[in-house]
Amino acid sequence: MEDIPILKVNNAEVIKKQKEKLDKLKKERDEKKVQAALDRITKAAEKVREGVYEKDYNLLALCVHAAESLATVGEMSLAMEKVFGRYKAEVQTISGVYLREYRDVGDEKEMETFRKENQKKLALIKEKVDLFIKEDGRRPRLLLAKMGQDGHDRGQKVVASSFADLGFDVDIGPLFQSAEDVARMALENHVHVVGLSSLAAGHLTFTPSLRDALKKVDLEEVLIIVGGVVPPQDYPELKANGASLIFGPGTVLTDAAIELLDLLLKRIKK
């Protein structure tokens, strides 16, 4: 793939600056006024939940007012969370789709070579999975994690469904997790691999923090792989920070599975 010029944002620097700005804001604003504005939001939220829709309880207007008093967006949403709770994204997946697609043999001639090749790959993957089970004692287990403010979970679902079809046990992590959340799930589920799905450009921040969090719970042996929208320019830095394999856009799922299994098998032999 040819190099596409990409604007690189130094995440650590941005976070630092943002935090400083927030601290400054919180020091300089009228705290009493902010709290009063936030309380009004909470109170209005209660009314709204009871079904009372009156002009005084217009949440948007109250949020504008709170913003004018220099409340942050986070504080406003927390004021409402007290009443409404936090949104929980339900994970729903189906399996069997990919296996069927790969196995399906149609009449079109131009598809035939493609399908034959895939049949071969599927057989190879099964062989490798079986070998892994024989050597390790357990089926290869993969946790697909989403970290930070990144709600794009279609890729996570596609990979989960297809890797399960290819013979992996796949754990699906909830959205918006911290490194510690992911490490805890990896620990309790005792996975061999954590796959970090990143589509909101957080990979350079999340990969090292995940590596550190895994180390903290004695899971250094767990492989980290990264998938999603990752520009090739970032590969070296990711690899230096704990990522064993990286799968960018356009990855063929079966190829990714083969690569991962080869690495897993190589590590057992060591």
Q: How far apart are CA 91 and CA 189, in angstroms?
A: 17
Least distance CB 133 / another protein (angstroms):
6
**What's at 74, amino acid-wise?**
G
Least distance CB 39 / another protein (angstroms):
22
- 222 vs 226 by CB, closer to another protein: 222
Interface residue list for another protein (CB under 8 A): 88, 90-93, 95-96, 99, 126, 129, 133-134, 136-139, 160-161, 163-174, 181, 185, 187-190, 217-219, 221
Least distance CB 240 / another protein (angstroms):
26
- 62 vs 175 by CB, closer to another protein: 175
- 38 vs 159 by CB, closer to another protein: 159
Least distance CB 191 / another protein (angstroms):
10
Kindly report the length of the chain: 270
- 37 vs 45 by CB, closer to another protein: 45
Least distance CB 124 / another protein (angstroms):
14
- 85 vs 236 by CB, closer to another protein: 85
